[in-house]
Structure 1
């Protein structure tokens, strides 16, 4: 989904389902510093906070999620063409980010 459609999508989703918080992948470099890509995420998060000020936003380190997504696709037996689908890789990566967040809250 294009970034410019996300705020409306979130609003429509929240009208149908309860949402406690938004989890966003935090792009970090190997030295643990935030990567250059954060400049693309910050404006969206500011807009999100402005439109939904009571909705908490939490970040989860997204390093290696694409690698893990590709590994998952290989293990699932997906064909090379499917593994090259960036939207699918992003979807699986987002699932891994959410799973990481949920596992961190278990303890």
Structure 2
């Protein structure tokens, strides 16, 4: 991996996408923001044109029984097509995202976040993306 560009992770859903990113040294995964799914292409275009990004990690929508969440899979296919067409130099990785929402909820509790703030889905989506990205970084080392 190059040490001069960051990696972006996306935890996509039907309504929202949680976004996380690494630093340019690819050491730390941090929540970035949550955007509406219908805005994901516009967001990616803006980021990939203005920031040094080496790769995008997509959390793959597998259910606990091993089946694929087909509704969310359609979102991932759309993102993948967009990236391959517009930004072919950016590497796309997929990682199993099972249980990241539960881990994210636990992380929000452990961080001392107030219940009111933990109930905001946007916070959960961002932290889920950060967990996906951290898992990817650890698997890559």
TM-score normalised by the chain length of structure 2 = 0.68
1:23 aligned residue: 57
Structure 1, unpaired ranges of 5+: none
Moved more, 28-37 or 62-71: 28-37
Q: As a proportion of its length, which structure holds more helix?
A: 1
**Structure 2 unaligned runs (5+)?**
1-34
Query: What is the alpha-carbon distance in structure 2 between the residues aligned to residue 15 and residue 29 of structure 1?
Result: 33
CA RMSD of aligned residues (A): 1.5
Please say which structure displays the higher CA radius of gyration. Answer: 1
What is the aligned counterpart of 1:71 among 106, 122, 128?
A: 106
Deviates more, 1:10-19 or 1:64-73: 10-19
Distance in 2 (CA, whole Å) between partners of 1:92 and 1:68 is 9
Larger strand share, 1 or 2:
2
Separation in structure 2 between the aligned mates of residue 52 and residue 3 of structure 1, nearest angstrom: 19
Larger RCO: Structure 1 or Structure 2 (Cα < 8 Å, ≥ 6 residues apart)?
A: 2
Q: Which residue of 1 aligns with 2:88?
A: 53
Moved over 6 A (4+): none
